[in-house]
Structure 1
């Protein structure tokens, strides 16, 4: 399955039964909790190459052509809760960011800040909800947003509510 995820990811998840199954497995791994590494290359022998072991494997144990797809995966776990009371509206937000560490290839949690989201993520939130992440108006949500890259360098973003 991980070889299919890698190949379909590189191709932008083209419409096919195999790539639909690969994308569904990738989404299953990242939602809702615990978040698993979406691309588990140690399960894909890729012609006998040593692609690493669970929990890492080192970025130099896989070809650079493969590492570029792995390292481009960026995942954000977002939640927003809005309450109204006698004191006005309160907004509670939470962000958790995951990705592959470039130096080791391990799936790690990176520091994140609710007030300093990358522009692409802020745009995605506004497109999906109609409001900014910190806006006091709008509805709450819990979701996973994953951004990946295909062989042309084009970004693909997937929003999954849970």
Structure 2
């Protein structure tokens, strides 16, 4: 049952106090918008010699202001860390860019600012649907179904 698809929703242009354009109260909208769902249709990370091949066909579900649900192109590899946890994968963090202070002084270099990049990985092949949601206490829960 989806609280935001209640068959008792008002219709016919009647304005109901506390109900938004999507037919939801603020409390119900908070639960709906707190749901994160990813569909990993195909993820494969293959290494061979000096080469590395990644295939990543992933979508994320999202709700629009009107309340309509749609799937949008996303990425398992660049998805949130909880996604790797739910899928049984791993998360890597690495720093790219930047240079040491003494390199700038010696060679007169200008450096790009460093940034930390976090990526997910999964050895082998991955397919599944993964969800993270908050309960009424604010605690997060994750679930996954591999297929």
- Scaled by the length of structure 2, what TM-score is found? 0.59
Question: What residue number does 2:62 align with?
Answer: 99
Instruction: Give 1:142's match in structure 2, choosing from 107, 122, 127.
Output: 127
Structure whose alpha-carbon radius of gyration is higher: 2
Question: What residue number does 1:50 align with?
Answer: 10
Question: What residue number does 1:65 align with?
Answer: 27
**Larger strand share, 1 or 2:** 2
**What are the superposed Cα offsets for residues 26-52 of structure 1, whole Å, 9 maximum, x if unpaired?**
xxxxxxxxxxxxx3633453xxx539x
How far residue 88 of structure 1 moved from its aligned partner, in angstroms, is 4.8
Instruction: Give 2:89's match in structure 1, choosing from 129, 132, 136.
Output: 129
Please, which runs of 5 or more residues in structure 1 have no aligned partner?
A: 3-38, 52-56
- Partners of 2:50 and 2:126 lie apart in 1 by 22
How far residue 86 of structure 1 moved from its aligned partner, in angstroms, is 7.7
- Scaled by the length of structure 1, what TM-score is found? 0.54
Calculate the aligned-residue CA RMSD, in Å: 3.1
* Count of residues in correspondence between the two structures: 112
Contact 1:148 1:156 in 2 (8 A): yes
Contact 1:96 1:112 in 2 (8 A): yes
Contact 2:39 2:128 in 1 (8 A): yes
**Larger helix share, 1 or 2:** 1
